[in-house]
Structure 1
Amino acid sequence: MVPPTGGGDGADEPPIEPSEVAVAIDEYGEGLADAVESALAGRSGVVAVGVPLGLLPSVLAARERTDDDAPWRVACPPSAVDALERAFVLGTAVAEAVAEGSIELRVIAGERDSDGLLPTDAAGRSLAFATPDRVDAVAGPRADRTLVSETGGERTAAALRAVTTRFEAATPATVGMPSRTRLLAAAREVLDDRFADDVAAVLDALDYGAVGRTGTVTDRTLLIALAARHDHLFRDLRRWVDGEGSEGGEESERGEGNPADRVAIAPGQELTADRRALVGRELIESIKVPMGPGRPQFRLRAVDEALLRAEPTEVFSVLRGRFALPVDEDGTLRRGPGGEGRRPVWDRRR
């Protein structure tokens, strides 16, 4: 996970806001997260209930390390499932696991994961992971949570029954992010292979909590920057982000088809502020391109050398560095004494 980073010279810039997932991961701590992953890896037929957003990465990591033909059954509080639709990296990973059948995801109505008031099961546990031979549960006060385990015997069997009952009473959940396979396929269809390859590299490289929907550098900021490296039309990027042109996309807006088929990341109209922020930071240009009747379209073009030369996996770091610099009231980079504007990339290459 990428920690919050101070801005500019640190004198008057606020720290970069951590993502929703980063905050959730920090709440449970690295020690507990590692303990959960180690406890689950290699076990078959896992049933988990009360799993909060901050421990979903541990469950995914353990599942990837485990060869199990049956799906792991995972039930989360509504807040965790809701957050996935705003979590670009984690949400697409969970959606991929659900799509390929390695995880069956459900939501337990009425359960909460933020105040320690989760209902308990018959074993007195609120967050539990069970298999036929072992049950693990998170116990202790918030400041000192720990993983306790029990193996064999009637208590383990009773706890497994209780956990399974809670899972079966939960409702099948829909992840508000597309799976990575469908996301990248749509990127190739709506944009091109180069952009899709960049997105794939970024998803593979970023920690689950690195980027979110809110904060200084958002997932939308990142996607616009990636599109600008390949001179894509802003309209086409919005179509992809909004799910238009994907299976079920435009038809769903007219009341036809299945809205769940849309490969949507976020509402396309939400990209404008991020585009303007990138222009103000002198990372990209928006070039008006007349294209027949109607309003002119914008072509996105990267103009910053660091952004252009960076490997796809380095783009997020470039953005964080630039957004840490101070800006004036109009959102443009603050100039020091004698500062000059940057020459556009097309002029520098002459």
Structure 2
Amino acid sequence: MADDEAETEPAPPVDARSGRSGAAPEVADALPRDDDPLTESVETALAGRSAVVAVGVPLRLLPSVLAARERSSGAPWRVACRPGAVDALSRALVLGSAVAEAVETDAIRLRTGEPLGHGTSGTLFASPDRVDAVVGPPGDRTLATTAVDDGSGGASAAGAREAITGVRAAAESRFDAAAAAPVGMPSRTRLLAAARETLDDRFADDLAAVLESLAPGEFGRTTEPTDRTLLVALAARHDHLFRDLRRWVGVDGVGIAPAQEFTRDRRALVERELIESVKVPMGPGRPMLRLRAVDDVLLRARPEEVPSVLDGRFALPTDADGRLSRDAGREGRRPVWERRRW
């Protein structure tokens, strides 16, 4: 990450659960940002354009590029992100799966490379008749635009076109020199297809609705509840076996995260009295664990409301063992044996 970008994007904290240091950026740390006019400016400037070449794209602007691409058509956009940005997508279910979908459908071609060194930021978006460069001091970035005005004619239009051609050529050269960057998160299509096959249609439909409703920076890996917590909770709403969930998400499945990492999230949900793990004997050997939601609010919530339910419960105080404090969150809840079945 370039020095100027490091000043504008906060250093990610240490993830106590994974032991990772703050050396690599995290989507949840960079997004969402309140009062960030640059992200809106980038999406507005890029929407509807064709043959875009983008270089030096930081993590915070990637959702804007993706949103603009969805509002455009034509040949694939070539996007070279800053070092570390694509790696962070492997730990970001919402944004990572959306970017992977765009790559899989050839809407964008993604690489990792150094910033262009143009202006003060090194982030630049070029198309055949327009160039937008991110300029300005850290914390006050804006877009500087050079465009061809066919109505002006004369030397000014010719000069603008020549300048755009030169800058675009430099951007293309920088993109070509960048390294291929596979996204370490499955595409939405692959994610949901595998969920239907390994789990069931109800779970896949819930997951599709949740992913569609969440902002790019929500449910990462640095704070609870994580994206893993969300997936365990969704599975518990449909009484799935923990083994089947882990088979779907693990490295032998779609590869969202190592299967063993989900145990801590399952325990966190049990400790907060949202789900239970029911031992189910299945022949010789250790019994399986069936995930079962035991909280009325979690059971009755629409899929897109589940993230808010989790946020609310994880915000309640817990004791030294990680369980809910005696009176926390009990008002308005009924015991599991009294809950309505349907």
TM-score band w.r.t. shorter chain: 0.7 to 0.9
User: SS of 2:224's equivalent?
Assistant: coil
2:77 pairs with 1:81: no
Match of 1:126 among 122, 127, 135: 122
The 8 Å contact of residues 302 and 308 in structure 1, kept in 2 or not, is answered as yes
Q: CA deviation at 1:125?
A: 5.8
Who is 2:106 aligned against? 101
Match of 1:291 among 279, 282, 306: 282
Q: In structure 2, what is the Cα distance between the partners aligned to 1:124 and 1:313?
A: 40
The letter for the 2-side match of 1:52 is: P
Q: CA deviation at 1:30?
A: 2.5
Who is 1:138 aligned against? 134
Who is 2:13 aligned against? none
The 8 Å contact of residues 32 and 216 in structure 2, kept in 1 or not, is answered as no
Who is 2:4 aligned against? none
CA deviations on 1:212-258 (whole Å, 9 max, x unpaired) are 012021000000000000000000000011043x4xxxxxxxxxxxx
Q: In structure 2, what is the Cα distance between the partners aligned to 1:303 and 1:124?
A: 54
CA deviations on 1:82-137 (whole Å, 9 max, x unpaired) are 100001000000000000010000111xx3xxxxxx5515x776100001111101
Flag structure 1 segments of 5+ consecutive residues without an equivalent: 1-18, 112-117, 247-262
Match of 1:91 among 81, 93, 96: 96
The letter for the 1-side match of 2:128 is: P
2:46 pairs with 1:55: no
Who is 1:24 aligned against? 30
The letter for the 2-side match of 1:273 is: R
Give the direction of change, closer, same or farther, for the CA distance of 1:144–1:125 in structure 2 (3 Å limit): closer
Flag structure 2 segments of 5+ consecutive residues without an equivalent: 1-24, 149-159
User: SS of 1:156's equivalent?
Assistant: helix
The letter for the 2-side match of 1:336 is: D
2:227 pairs with 1:219: yes
Q: CA deviation at 1:155?
A: 1.6
Who is 1:326 aligned against? 317
Who is 2:144 aligned against? 148
2:281 pairs with 1:281: no
Q: In structure 2, what is the Cα distance between the partners aligned to 1:143 and 1:78?
A: 20
In angstroms, what is the RMSD of aligned CA positions?
A: 2.0
The 8 Å contact of residues 80 and 110 in structure 2, kept in 1 or not, is answered as yes
Q: In structure 1, what is the Cα distance between the partners aligned to 2:180 and 2:108?
A: 11
Q: CA deviation at 1:346?
A: 3.6
Give the direction of change, closer, same or farther, for the CA distance of 1:194–1:26 in structure 2 (3 Å limit): closer
Q: CA deviation at 1:336?
A: 3.5
| Deviating 4+ runs (over 6 angstroms) | none
The 8 Å contact of residues 222 and 316 in structure 1, kept in 2 or not, is answered as yes
The 8 Å contact of residues 279 and 287 in structure 2, kept in 1 or not, is answered as yes
Q: In structure 2, what is the Cα distance between the partners aligned to 1:186 and 1:311?
A: 22
Question: Taking structure 2 as the reference length, what is the TM-score of the superposition?
Answer: 0.84
Which deviates more from structure 2 when the two are superposed, residues 38-47 or residues 285-294? 285-294
Who is 2:240 aligned against? 232
The 8 Å contact of residues 232 and 266 in structure 2, kept in 1 or not, is answered as yes
The 8 Å contact of residues 28 and 55 in structure 1, kept in 2 or not, is answered as no
CA deviations on 1:130-183 (whole Å, 9 max, x unpaired) are 011111010111121111111232221111111110001111210000000000
Who is 1:184 aligned against? 192
Question: Taking structure 1 as the reference length, what is the TM-score of the superposition?
Answer: 0.82
Who is 1:40 aligned against? 46
The 8 Å contact of residues 28 and 54 in structure 1, kept in 2 or not, is answered as no
Match of 1:163 among 155, 163, 171: 171
Who is 1:267 aligned against? 258
The 8 Å contact of residues 116 and 171 in structure 2, kept in 1 or not, is answered as no
The 8 Å contact of residues 25 and 55 in structure 1, kept in 2 or not, is answered as no
The number of residue pairs the alignment matches comes to 303
The letter for the 2-side match of 1:163 is: A
Who is 1:250 aligned against? none
Match of 1:317 among 298, 302, 308: 308
Give the direction of change, closer, same or farther, for the CA distance of 1:290–1:343 in structure 2 (3 Å limit): farther
The letter for the 2-side match of 1:268 is: A
Q: In structure 2, what is the Cα distance between the partners aligned to 1:311 and 1:20?
A: 28
Give the direction of change, closer, same or farther, for the CA distance of 1:63–1:221 in structure 2 (3 Å limit): same
The 8 Å contact of residues 55 and 124 in structure 2, kept in 1 or not, is answered as yes
For CA contacts below 8 A with separation 6 or more, give which structure has more relative contact order.
1
Who is 2:16 aligned against? none
Q: In structure 1, what is the Cα distance between the partners aligned to 2:169 and 2:121?
A: 13
The 8 Å contact of residues 51 and 75 in structure 1, kept in 2 or not, is answered as yes
